[in-house]
Structures are given as C-alpha cells and as structure tokens.
Structure 1
Amino acid sequence: MKIYRIANLAILSLVLSIAFATAACAADNTVPGWDPAVLRDASTIKVMTTEPDAGEHWSNLWVVVIDGQPYVRLGDRSYVRIQRNTTKPYVKLKVADQEFDKVKVEEMPDMKDKVAAAMADKYWMDVLIRHESHPMVARLVPEAAPPETPSH
C-alpha cells in the first residue's frame, strides 16, 4: 500500500512540474527582443504618435518597470499626442537600439501612486517634474507583428 502512495505522489509531482513548466513557457512574451530589463535600465524611451494635422512625432518619455511591466507617466503635451494619435491605442517605441512597431498604451489610473514613487526613485529630476500635471499613467504592452503571409 505504501508503494502505491509513493508512486502516486511521484506521478502527481511529475504532472505538476509539467503543468508549471508549460504555464511558465506560455507566460513568456512572444514579441522578439522585448525585455522589461532593458526598459528598466533605459534612461528614456521614444514613442512615435501620428496626428492628423502634424504627422509623425517622436516623444521622449521616462519609463519605470514595476512587477515586470513597463509604465510611463504622461505630461499634458504627451497626453494630447496620445489622445489624437491616429494609430491609437498603439504607438511605435524605440528603446536602446531596438524598435517595436506595435505597442499598446493601456491607461492604468490605479497605478498612479506606484508609478510616481518609482519615478521618484529612478529620476532625480522628479523632485521638480512630479509637481507638473500628469493626466495619464499607462502600461506599455507589446503586440507581436502578425505573421507574414507568403505572396503567390
């Protein structure tokens, strides 16, 4: 009887190990090159918006990473650009030597205090900037480019 319990426990452990490994692989980001550590270490990132009257515009933004997710805090001008962006909710993003064509800007008002604290920890100039208007805090979520379809 004891051998059956040990065997069942071994099988259960194996099944759980496989399930956890599969879940960990599924949680991996499928966007090639996307690495929150690069964003965490970056001084600034660039996001491109496209406005109907002004065309393309690259903005420099501060970025922080909280629990593996990158966040930005937008000032008035950046907020207006994001709102008028013709590719909304997506922007193009440059960080270090990489460029991502489709990054979703998800408004996250519940993260305002955490992002503000992280900005204060990362950027010494935040002692002045924190007093300016910041109408939006957003998480940046990359989306994989659709697979290319072969042309015939």
Structure 2
Amino acid sequence: MKTRRIADLAVLSVVLSIALVAAARAEEKAVPGWDPALFREASTIKVMTTEPDVGEHWSNLWVVVIDGQPYVRLGDRAYGRIQRNTTSPYVKLKVADQEFDKVKLEEMPDMKEKVATAMADKYWMDILIRHESHPMVARLVPQTPAPETSSH
C-alpha cells in the first residue's frame, strides 16, 4: 500500500511539473510579438535602464537563444547599470522593430557556460570579448501587459 502511495505521488509530481512548465511557456507566448526567432536573427538588442542621477540609458547587448529562450551576458558597465536601475527587475527592450516595455532579466548563473558557447558560435568578436568580466548571465522573460480596464 505504501509503495502505491509513493508511485501515485511521483506521478502527481510529474504531472504538476509538466503543467507548470506549460503554463509558464503559455504566459511567455501570450506577449504579443515575443518570438525567439527575433532574438536568434538579431545582431544586438537594446535594453533601457533608468538611473537616479543619469536618467534613461539604452545599452546594446549581444543575445543568443538556447532552448527557445533568449539570453544575454552582461559586462561590468551594463551590469552596473542593471544594479542601479530604478525599474528593477524590469527593463525596456528593443529587438528588430519590436519594443517591449516590461522585460525581466532573470539571473541564470548555471547557464554561464552554455551562453558563453552560444555567444562564441554566433559572434566572431567573442574571441576577444569572452576574456572580459561578465558578472551576469540572464534570461529575458517578457511580462504580460496588464489587461486594460474600462472606466465605465
């Protein structure tokens, strides 16, 4: 009987995990215009941070796509801007002709090697850049806009 409960619990855990992943992916796809192909084809993207004494600043970043998810690797200056960003954890992002007002930079230190390899494959200049400091690797996660409410 105890073995049966453990097996049922294991099956339930797997089903819930799949459901959570599917829900997260569905939420990302619900953002109009968000498409991994945009990032795969882009040479660079722009992220806007806002600093107290500086105001708005657009930084150009390299971007790679791994398993359908866009990732960036930040150097010291870009990382400093992210640390001082008053809209943290969100930035505004431009890629190709698309603009996204609320994108979360989700720090992913466990992806450092995969992102470095993907950067080297995509960008020939990475032969020099890879030796610089990169204190942050992040996945770009779009936030769905809040539904508009009627004032009636």
Partner of residue 14, structure 2? none
Matched, 1:141 2:144: no
Q: In structure 2, how many angstroms separate the alpha carbons of the residues matched to 1:149 and 1:82?
A: 31
Name segments (4+ residues, structure 1) moved above 3 Å: 23-28
Matched, 1:115 2:108: no
5+ residue gaps, structure 2, are: 1-17
Q: 1:130 offset after TM fit, Å?
A: 0.3
Partner of residue 79, structure 2? 79
TM-score, structure 2 length as denominator? 0.82
Q: In structure 2, how many angstroms separate the alpha carbons of the residues matched to 1:25 and 1:110?
A: 23
Q: In structure 2, how many angstroms separate the alpha carbons of the residues matched to 1:27 and 1:84?
A: 29
Partner of residue 60, structure 1? 60
Query: Identity rate of aligned residues, in percent?
Result: 82
Larger Rg: 1
Partner of residue 69, structure 1? 69
- Per-residue CA shift, 1:91-129, capped at 9, x if unaligned? 000000010000000100000000000000000000000
1:73 counterpart SS class: strand
Number of residue pairs aligned between Structure 1 and Structure 2: 131
- Per-residue CA shift, 1:23-68, capped at 9, x if unaligned? 9698431100000111011000000000011000000000000000
Moved more, 27-36 or 70-79: 27-36
1:31 counterpart SS class: coil
Q: 1:32 to 1:117 in 2, by over 3 A?
A: same
5+ residue gaps, structure 1, are: 1-19
Partner of residue 131, structure 2? 131
Q: 1:149 offset after TM fit, Å?
A: 1.0
Partner of residue 6, structure 1? none
